[in-house]
Amino acid sequence: MLNRGTHLYNLVITSFIKKIAGRPRPDFISRCIPKTEVSFTNSTYFDRTICSQKNLSIISEGFKSFPSGHSSVIFAGGVFTSYYLYHKIPASTPNAALFKYSLIVLPVLTSLYVSVSRYIDYWHHWDDILAGIIIGSFCSFFSYKFLFKDLAELDSDSYIPANQQSYQQNIPDNVILPLN
């Protein structure tokens, strides 16, 4: 589909933030398997040195909780698909409008289901998921706005990609254009 740019922007932003501001996942203690000789006090800062886990990739993955990559990717695709369906499906009757809006909500509900499953499975904190949702939604909004027409226009039957708008000319009906 046309949302490859959405996912590319989203993955770059999410990966950059994970590298800069990543924090421990909720299951970090079970990944780390702390050494028993370490004394835990309220004023002590811990890093990888307290872990007895030998596999460093498991420990490194444990520090990549913020933001949720699954939430950002699935919302980037879901919101983009909802925008696309909104502008592509005509709603001429009340029943068609009900069908249209029901269909538009499905990608967002699916995205929400995947995002909540990351919290339930104890992989992310709630604010990791919220940050992923925000990043994915903004990436899809800006990508759709860049690729297609103005989102403020409510006429969903006039579907014109943004790159073709400049080729349209205001030609009167009575003018006959020569065919080359």
Q: What is the mean pLDDT for each group of 10 consecutive residues in the chain (180 residues)? A: 70 86 81 72 64 80 83 91 85 79 92 91 88 91 77 49 49 58
pLDDT of residue 109: 95
Confidence at residue 84, expressed as pLDDT on a 0 to 100 scale: 86
Predicted confidence at residue 147, as pLDDT, reads 77
Burial state string for 50-82 with b = 16 or more CB within 10 A and e = fewer than 16 = ebeeeeeeebeebbbbbbbbbbbbbbbbbbbbb
The pLDDT value recorded for residue 8 is: 82
pTM assigned to the model: 0.71
Active site residues: 70, 124
User: Which pairs with CB-CB distance under 8 Å and at least 24 residues apart come from 85-90?
Assistant: 86/156, 87/148, 87/149, 87/156, 87/159, 88/156, 88/159, 89/156, 90/156, 90/157
pLDDT of residue 168: 47
Give the Å distances, CA to CA, from 120 to 55, 113, 159. 25, 10, 40
